[in-house]
Amino acid sequence: MVTLRCGNADRLGVLGGTFDPLHYGHLALAEAGRDQLGLGCVLFVPAGDPPHKPSQPMSSAQHRGMMVAMVVGDYEGYTLSRADLDRPGPHYTADLLAILRHTYPNAELYFLMGSDSLRQFPAWHHPARIVAQARLAVLRRPNWEADVQALEWAVPGIREHLVWLEGAPLDISGTDIRRRVREGLPIGDLVPPSIEAYIHKHDLYRDQQGR
């Protein structure tokens, strides 16, 4: 279920998402976490059935997993985890982290996220379980500043589990990339070349309105 290329790393980054598609913003977050936190490995974990996006059309698990695998294979210390893709839903981060803690019992987990996700964190499923299992490594995104005091009120103790990452935030979203593909606009500055080629080869996103 979970790729074991990370071996005996004592610090693991966990980067989840639909990865529809994987883009340079994801890679910038992974790089910031790896370099600044001394992560031995970063697990890219495509979501199987995101409960917060029940009505949003999504590319198949096969396509999303393949796009991640193609890119992370080119980076030392990055690997694909199918922990969510290969298990029945619903898929919650708290449950995913429990699986990873069982798989890597000696590793300290850092859940990598942008400040936009942190701002919405109290609405996640069992946020207290998440911070009990991993530290939150957060990279700021433009126009998405989180109110730490409000977060502390909503999830007591979260402040002690926050780690702020420095770096130039990339304001890139999968929604915008999919829109650009639908409209025939270039995406070469937003995604790695292999992802762009894969999208065009498999004609992804062109016939999925509203994505």
Q: Tens of pLDDT along 143-180?
A: 667 789 999 999 999 999 999 998 876 789 999 999 99
pLDDT for position 20: 96
Query: From CA 156, how far away is CA 46, in angstroms rounded?
Result: 28
Q: Pick from 73, 86, 71, 81: which is nearest to 25 by CA? A: 71
pLDDT tens sequence across 30-72: 999 999 999 999 999 999 866 655 556 789 999 999 999 999 9
- The strands making up 135-139's β-sheet, listed across from edge to edge, are 78-80, 41-46, 11-17, 108-114, 135-139, 162-165
What are the phi and psi torsion angles at 45 (to 5°)? -120, 95
Average pLDDT over residues 88-98: 90
Answer whether 81's CB lies under 8 Å from 3's CB.
Answer: yes
Domain extents in the chain? 11-201
Q: For 110-140, what is each residue's pLDDT tens digit?
A: 999 998 889 899 999 999 999 999 999 999 7
| pLDDT at residue 16 is higher than 90 | yes
CB burial string 175-210: b at 16+ within 10 A, e below:
eebbeebeeeeebeebbbeebbebbeeeebbeeeee
Count the neighbouring beta carbons within 10 Å of the beta carbon of residue 109: 18
Global pTM? 0.90
CATH topology of domain 11-201: Rossmann fold (3.40.50)
Rounded to a whole number of angstroms, the CA Rg of the chain reads 16
Both tokens assigned to 178: 């999919």
Chain mean pLDDT for the chain? 89
Is the pLDDT at 189 greater than 80? The verdict is yes
